[in-house]
Structure 1
Amino acid sequence: MERASRLPTMRDVARQAGVSVMTVSRVVNGEPGVLPDTAARVELAIRAIGYQRNDMARNLRRGATGTQTVGLLVDDLANPFFAALARAVEDQARLRGSLVLIASSGDDLRREREAVQAFCARRVDGLILVPVAGSHRFLRAALDRGTKVVCVDRPADQLRVDTVAVDNRDGAMRATGHLLAHGHRRIGYLGDRPEIWTVKQRFTGFCDALAAAGLTPDPNLIRHGLRTREDAAAAVARLMAAQDPPTAVFTSNDLMSVGALGGLGPSAGRIAMVGFDDFALADRMTPAVTVVAQDPAALGATAAQLLFARIDGDTSAPRDLVLLTRLLVRGSGEIAPTAADRKSLTA
């Protein structure tokens, strides 16, 4: 007696439809040579008994090595930036008939390793990673087994693979330079964990712009290690409550920008701000928020295209692709210091 939990097979479909197993196979795999009425009968039988094709077993029978799946690991899928990146990867995979398995690392190296191990246990054809700070030598075993790896948004430490990122340093320099050009000299900085590659690059660009103007970064105006909107709101509130507050703020990502706006409260209309990353409704605020915008969809699509090229046999040297950012001037970054602020700066 067969167990009730047994999955339906092609033989079951053939018995239900009154046709041969070969006919069922042709219908399931979209092959020609089946009369329309017969194909319709097979489709009805498939739906009636709930048959699903086992692609892994099918590939093994055909001697294929791929599983038509790829793994995508981002920092936080709840972040709109990474959600847009993931959607672009999915769109590219869909064109290939591939499935994307997605996980979030939470910027935790142990969680990243666990996710990568889970992906590899499912024999994914390739991995797209937003790498956590720290060594990635553990991925070499997967590379040696033939798993293709592409990094996006940031490179992986001690791993030479294709990488797609934006020019974070240049974008931060232009953002800070924009504030300097509007008369600001005391510019606050709100940033995530400084060991994150993108954050490090943006803070370097911030410092470079100040140095080009003959200024030294004031540690009293710098806040590192902010992970949430609430962290950023509290940090900017403390900055503004100080005896000598900044006249402008540079925020290093979209979460920092949204948090800073909440922390500034009524001061948002008189404190200049430029943020790195655009975010929803930034252009609808009063004043609208000036940002350095990058394109997460372009990052995701480019990374996926590189990965599928590797899966298809591209053996050229690893590439570092750098996409451009745009400074979107909207109003918040163009607020000049008040007369009192300018007087205190020259005193």
Structure 2
Amino acid sequence: MGDRRRRTTLRDVATEAGVSVKTVSRVVNGEAGVAPAVRAHVAAVVEQLGYRPDVGARTLRRNDRRSASIALLLEDLANPYSAALLRAVEDVARPRGVVVLAASLDEDPVRERALARAFGSRSVDGLVLAPAGDDQSHLVEEITGGTAVVCVDRAPAGIDVDTVVSTDAAGVADGVRHLADHGHTRIAFLGDLATIATARLRHDGYRAGLAGAGLPYDPRLVVRGVRSDEAVQEALTALLALPDPPTALLGAQNLITAGLVRALRRLDLHHRIALVGYDDFLFADLLSPAVTVVAQDPATIGRTAADLLFDRIGGAREAPRTVEVPTRLIVRGSGELPPDR
């Protein structure tokens, strides 16, 4: 990750601009009392040196120039997967006396950049990020300024940092093979937006699972971009209206799977159409039938990411690495239903 350098200070800007520290402070804080020409000159130097206001300095800074805080930027903190990952990071951070800040990205690359910049301005010691966009080069400035970065869930682009991911493609392939082993030849796939890296990997795993079972790929059985219960219901209705409808479903995300459970129950088909979900969800084991899932391990992902982050904060300089955390097929009943002829 390269050498960790100290952040640019107000004094650095003042020296480069040839003005007083007070003048720089007034410009940065939008205060009056600075001539327009001087303000423009100082603003240009601020941008040139990459200065970021240290808004947490008075309350968090310690003698070792660390803030005793880290930040997590995850897809959606309300999602059980993100919540479990956050808790795992907190469990690693708490004994170290480190505060954990967190925010949801909502799959928005603009929000990713804005929040990374906002947390950077608060001088967090490290950042755990689930990339929302297809370019994380905006973090180069934060890394150069001394912020350690670890990515989770998805590999970053434009930067080379430690990354912790699940075996998405292999996990979905396991789910497809499981359904095929129980006699299903018409297996539908319902996935998230194709722009999301993990959604693409899971679709790849679906195709690999079909190929491994000797089954053809039928694009009519694939529905992508499913983002709500209403979309799940519409997709299932369209699938069941096919001349040769699916006898089994694979929900490639926990909220999609939960939506399929609701839709199948509304149609009284939950004991007739097999279902395997990717990623576990609350009460999946208490339903009838209980839902068979390919479970990720967010607790291990979170702990591993936190350990890597604190190693980097502590000065580790080994080459960045990618850690793959295996998924696990949990057999509960819904994925073992035979084809309804």
Taking a change above 3 Å as real, the CA distance of residues 258 and 58 of structure 1, as seen in their structure-2 partners, is closer
Separation in 2 of the partners of 1:228 and 1:319?
35
Deviation at 1:314, TM superposition (A): 0.5
Deviation at 1:60, TM superposition (A): 5.5
Partner of 2:19: none
Higher alpha-carbon deviation: 175-184 or 260-269: 260-269
Preserved CA contact (<8 Å) 1:135 1:157: yes
Q: Does 1:196 align with 2:196?
A: yes
Separation in 1 of the partners of 2:215 and 2:281?
30
Separation in 1 of the partners of 2:325 and 2:208?
20
Separation in 2 of the partners of 1:261 and 1:232?
10
Taking a change above 3 Å as real, the CA distance of residues 98 and 60 of structure 1, as seen in their structure-2 partners, is closer
Over aligned residue pairs, what C-alpha RMSD do you find?
Answer: 1.6
TM-score by length of 1: 0.79
Separation in 1 of the partners of 2:206 and 2:300?
25
What whole-Å deviation, never above 9, does each CA across 1:250-294 have from its counterpart, x for those lacking one?
Answer: 110110100011122211111011111111111111111100011
Partner of 1:274: 276
Preserved CA contact (<8 Å) 2:166 2:296: yes
Higher alpha-carbon deviation: 120-129 or 213-222: 213-222
What whole-Å deviation, never above 9, does each CA across 1:282-340 have from its counterpart, x for those lacking one?
Answer: 111111110001111111111111101100011101010011111011111111113x3
Separation in 1 of the partners of 2:56 and 2:117?
21
The residue type paired with residue 165 of structure 1 is V
Which structure: greater helix fraction? 1
Separation in 2 of the partners of 1:133 and 1:116?
12
Partner of 1:247: 247
Preserved CA contact (<8 Å) 1:133 1:197: no
Identity %: 46
Taking a change above 3 Å as real, the CA distance of residues 141 and 184 of structure 1, as seen in their structure-2 partners, is same
Equivalent pairs counted in the alignment come to: 285
Preserved CA contact (<8 Å) 1:76 1:106: yes
Taking a change above 3 Å as real, the CA distance of residues 185 and 146 of structure 1, as seen in their structure-2 partners, is same
Taking a change above 3 Å as real, the CA distance of residues 152 and 314 of structure 1, as seen in their structure-2 partners, is same
Preserved CA contact (<8 Å) 2:105 2:132: yes
Q: Does 1:179 align with 2:179?
A: yes
Deviation at 1:82, TM superposition (A): 0.4
Segments of 5+ residues of structure 1 without an aligned counterpart are 1-53, 341-347
Partner of 2:12: none
Partner of 1:298: 300
Taking a change above 3 Å as real, the CA distance of residues 77 and 267 of structure 1, as seen in their structure-2 partners, is same
The one of the two structures with greater contact order (alpha-carbon pairs below 8 A, sep at least 6) is 2
Partner of 2:166: 166
Separation in 2 of the partners of 1:83 and 1:61?
29
Alignment of 1:37-116 (within 5 A): 56-57=57-58, 62=63, 64-116=64-116
The runs of 4+ residues in structure 1 deviating greater than 3 Å are 54-61
Separation in 1 of the partners of 2:317 and 2:143?
13
Partner of 1:26: none
SS at structure 2 position matched to 1:283: coil
Partner of 2:334: 332
What whole-Å deviation, never above 9, does each CA across 1:187-219 have from its counterpart, x for those lacking one?
Answer: 110000122121111111110111123332211
